[in-house]
Amino acid sequence: MSRYDDVMARKGEIMKKALGIDYTRFETGGIAFDYEGMMNEAGYTLEEIRAIQTETGVGNTPLLELRNLTRFARLTASEGKGARIFLKDEAANPSGSFKARRASVSVYHAKKLGFRSVIAATSGNYGAAVASQAAMRGLDCIIVQECYDSTGKGQPEIIEKARKCEAYGAEVVQLSVGPELFYVFLQLLEETGAFNASLYTPFGIAGVESLGWELAEQVRDRIGRNPDAVVITNAGGGNLTGTARGLIKAGSGETNIIGVSVNLAGLHMASDGQFNRKSFTTGHTGFGVPFSTWPDRSDVPRSAGRPLRYMDRYVTVNQGEVFWATEALARLEGLERGPAGNISLAAAIGLAREMDEDQILVVQETEYTGAGKHIQSQLSFARDNGIEIRFGDPADEVPGESIVLPENPGMIRPRTLDLDGLRSSLIRKATEGRGPATIRDEDIRFLIEETRSDEAFVRKALRLKRN
């Protein structure tokens, strides 16, 4: 057996030691598992989580009304349309993104269990968040980052995030795109005895619940009622899952939850040749769709991020629309924020035009910007990689070939994905290789919860008749 095969064969054992969670306790032996039981494994109430986050300056971020962008959206809306757009400014967190909420609970729990170091595998803002929280809690930190293609060329956004991690004192291990990321991650967990500060543990998702709770409370304080809709960037599913759970706990369960991803259809995220032909390293369909239809592809046995349980609608926007929204936010509202944090903002500009003008639409996050994350460096990198950049209709954009910035805001048109198709895909993947006789009633109930559907929908997807 090769060293690679040996390590991968022991991933369950390595993960259990690095997390302190025995995931087998939540399994039923079939398709179903005890999701809420696993979430309770975090062991912290929402009040305790908010207290943990307050210790390190996480949370209590401002809710800002984007009056100028609202007026701008109404210019291309029908009479009486154009919802009021609000923005939850998560860039105010210590590391500059909502990921500080996820990291805060994981790092706190690691210290509570007696670990002396934490490790996270991420090329995004989460690495900076873990490094920041580890510095505050006095723990060592290693960030494993998928950074380069085989020619040694790295995206400016990823390199910027490595700089930020190192500024907090973390060691950054940079790898080329491909399967070595998880292998090296497992090796380091075993060799160092560090805590796995994964994005997808109950600790991480529970940390985001405070965002949903705060958002609902702030809108009620300002407007006197719950928001009508919250638009949330969807990648691995933890952002949407945690925010939605927090909204529910705050008594805002009727709020419409809209997921949004950047359309990168046709690009393969693990392809060496295509790795640098995209301008967004997260928040895109290359993560959002596969993680929605099969959440357990993550670095833990069962992911706590399960977006189809909470999503009411799923839309996509194009890269050019996000870059346009980033510049509009700076010029019209005086807020310079990183493009990846404006994915949901781009969707909101289009979605607001569909809603009545007295309705409240909340953009759930922003993120910090920096030299590598700035729109100009990202567009320059795209141009250097042969991507055509022009103004026109974003609908004509071809991922990996062009970035088309809208000639006017009326061209920002979020495109709705088929949620029922995604739900059916999840059901098929969950039951792959299983005959009808092996699918039990508890599995049916689990799939109903997983897809936020009903028994008739699940049975139709499985082509099962009711007994």
Name residue, tokens 């929402």: 46
* Mean pLDDT, the chain, whole residue set: 93
What pLDDT sits at residue 2?
65
Looking at the predicted structure, is the pLDDT value of residue 15 above 70? yes
Confidence of residue 411 (pLDDT cuts 50, 70, 90): very high
Q: Give me the mean pLDDT over the 402-415 stretch.
A: 94
Looking at the predicted structure, is the pLDDT value of residue 178 above 90? no
Ordered alpha helix ranges (H), 95-150: 99-113, 125-137
Looking at the predicted structure, is the pLDDT value of residue 465 above 80? no
> Which of 181-190, 382-391, 450-459 has the lowest average pLDDT?
181-190
What pLDDT sits at residue 41?
84
pLDDT digits (tens, 9 = 90+) for 182-192: 888 889 999 99
Q: Please provide the size of the chain in residues.
A: 467
Q: In whole angstroms, how far apart are CA 294 and each of 233, 278, 304, 440?
A: 18, 23, 12, 20
Q: What is the spatial distance between Cα 96 and Cα 283, in angstroms, rounded to a whole number?
A: 16
Q: Give me the mean pLDDT over the 126-137 stretch.
A: 97
Looking at the predicted structure, is the pLDDT value of residue 392 above 90? yes
List, as one string, the DSSP characters of 335-392: ----GGGGHHHHHHHHHHTTSBTTSEEEE-------TTTSHHHHHHHHHHTT-EEEEE
Looking at the predicted structure, is the pLDDT value of residue 173 above 60? yes
What pLDDT sits at residue 1?
53
What pLDDT sits at residue 106?
96
Helices 455-462 & 419-430 angle (0-180, nearest 10): 60
pLDDT digits (tens, 9 = 90+) for 248-262: 999 999 999 999 999
H or E segment to which residue 222 belongs = helix 202-223
What's the burial of 327, exposed, middle or buried (CB within 10 Å: 0-12/13-18/19+)? Answer: middle
Q: What is the spatial distance between Cα 99 and Cα 344, in angstroms, rounded to a whole number?
A: 16
Q: Is residue 62 helix, strand or coil? A: coil
What pLDDT sits at residue 452?
96
Q: What is the spatial distance between Cα 411 and Cα 392, in angstroms, rounded to a whole number?
A: 9
Q: Is residue 120 helix, strand or coil? A: strand
Q: What is the spatial distance between Cα 136 and Cα 149, in angstroms, rounded to a whole number?
A: 33
Q: Give me the mean pLDDT over the 430-443 stretch.
A: 90
pLDDT digits (tens, 9 = 90+) for 44-85: 999 999 999 999 999 999 999 999 999 999 999 999 999 999
Which token pair is 2? 């090769």
Q: What is the spatial distance between Cα 325 and Cα 353, in angstroms, rounded to a whole number?
A: 15
Question: Which residue segments constitute the domains of the chain, with CATH numbers given?
Answer: 3-50+97-202 (3.40.50.1100), 58-96+206-416 (3.40.50.1100), 433-462 (no CATH)
Are 451 and 308 contacting, i.e. CB atoms less than 8 angstroms apart? Answer: yes
Q: Give me the mean pLDDT over the 348-376 stretch.
A: 95
Looking at the predicted structure, is the pLDDT value of residue 152 above 90? no
What's the burial of 237, exposed, middle or buried (CB within 10 Å: 0-12/13-18/19+)? Answer: buried
What pLDDT sits at residue 379?
94
What pLDDT sits at residue 428?
94
What pLDDT sits at residue 52?
98
H or E segment to which residue 443 belongs = helix 441-451
